[in-house]
Amino acid sequence: MSQPSRHSRAYLVFWKTAFVVSLLLVCGALYYSTQKIDYVWRWYRLPQYFIAHQDIDVKTDIQGEVASIISEGAKSVVVVKSDSSNEQEKYTVPTKGLRVSKGDVVFVGDVLSRVQKTVPGIMIMATWMTLYISAISIVIGILLGMFTGLARLSENPFLRWWSITYIELIRGSPLLVQIYIWYFVLGTLINNLLGKAGIPEIPTLWFGIASMAVFSGAYVAEIVRAGIQSIHRGQREAARSLGMNSYQAMRHIILPQAFRRILPPLAGQFISLVKDSSLLGIISIRELTKASREVVTVSLQPFEIFFVCALLYLMLTFGLSLATNYLERKFIQA
């Protein structure tokens, strides 16, 4: 629930107006700058990168002659009779895209008809890939971070020292270097071992997700540790005085309170993770930034494409912020 403001209505109106005016001035300055450069804006060409029309060929699998074509409205049945035997095959194809006539000689792979389908464009597919990578990395990062954060507070030296080693190693090196290590070193080793064992290799995508999840897990672990340590020691002692063991005190008393406090920094970490996924393009994963670069290479429209790319990232991160705010309100009301 929002608290009443300490300032007068005139004060708030003035500064809100100042914000709107300054925002308009920034947008106006940007627009003015774009009009002064030698660049032709072609926004009308962008829809093809979101919704694409793909031609799909219907091909024959045998060599022979088109014995008959039976039209059934929008669909036609093409019967191809083999030269070498009495074998014949029927193909149901769109009438509009027919490429053969009765009596034509066709060979294996010849096109009988062509149909045009509407499919998601490269930017939609790349946005989905970014969302997919981020979602899986976030889930694994939460689990890894929760376990490591609790291990970091454990009295067991084995768990505590391993958690410290993991956190310091991951936080002490750039994500870009870690992606390289996952792809070129660990990926090569693991896939070689799997290949010798006759097991299919792991796709590049999963090494990218692993690098993101492990990177995120180290930061989540520190957020979880800080959240748990922020709960007053008296809470734990009160739980123990009620007969709860350490697990019950952590499960029912400490973690619910800590989770409310760590939710905002967790949201920031996850938003950062979505943006960090742009680095995965270096190992040939076609996420949003890599797809944008490919489109720019073909279309020579860097301004429009990168503006749209930034807008799509903003939509993803803003949606994540709204979801986190919703969860935060639910926990406060609980």
DSSP track, 155-221? S-HHHHHHHHHHHHHHHTS-HHHHHHIIIIIIHHHHHHHHHHTTPPPPPHHHHHHHHHHHHHHHHHH
Q: Which residue has the tokens 């619910």?
A: 256
Over 90: is that where the pLDDT of 249 sits?
no
For the chain, give the longest Cα–Cα distance: 93
Phi-psi region of 103 (alpha: psi -120 to 50; beta: other; left: phi over 0): left
User: What does the pLDDT look like over 4-59, one tens digit per residue?
Assistant: 667 788 898 999 999 999 999 999 998 888 888 888 888 888 998 999 888 888 88
Phi-psi region of 101 (alpha: psi -120 to 50; beta: other; left: phi over 0): beta
Provide the percentage of residues in the chain whose pLDDT is more than 90: 43
Mean pLDDT taken over the chain = 88
Instruction: Look at residue 95 in the predicted model and tell me its pLDDT.
Output: 81
Q: Which residues pair with 319 in a beta bridge?
A: none
User: What does the pLDDT look like over 168-180, one tens digit per residue?
Assistant: 999 999 999 999 9
**Residue 209, both tokens:** 């997700």
Over 60: is that where the pLDDT of 78 sits?
yes
Mean pLDDT on 70-89: 83
Instruction: Look at residue 4 in the predicted model and tell me its pLDDT.
Output: 61
Instruction: Look at residue 321 in the predicted model and tell me its pLDDT.
Output: 87
- The closest alpha carbon to 62, from 42, 79, 40, belongs to 79
Q: What is the DSSP letter of 3?
A: P
User: What does the pLDDT look like over 122-178, one tens digit per residue?
Assistant: 999 999 999 999 999 999 999 999 999 999 888 889 999 999 999 999 999 999 999
Say how many Å lie between the first and final Cα of the chain, rounded: 13
* List of residues 6+ apart from 4 with CB closer than 8 A: none
CA dist 109 and 274 (Å) reads: 44
* List of residues 6+ apart from 106 with CB closer than 8 A: 60, 63, 64, 65, 66, 80, 100, 112
Instruction: Look at residue 334 in the predicted model and tell me its pLDDT.
Output: 64
Whether the CB-CB separation of 220 and 143 falls below 8 Å is answered with no
CA dist 56 and 92 (Å) reads: 14
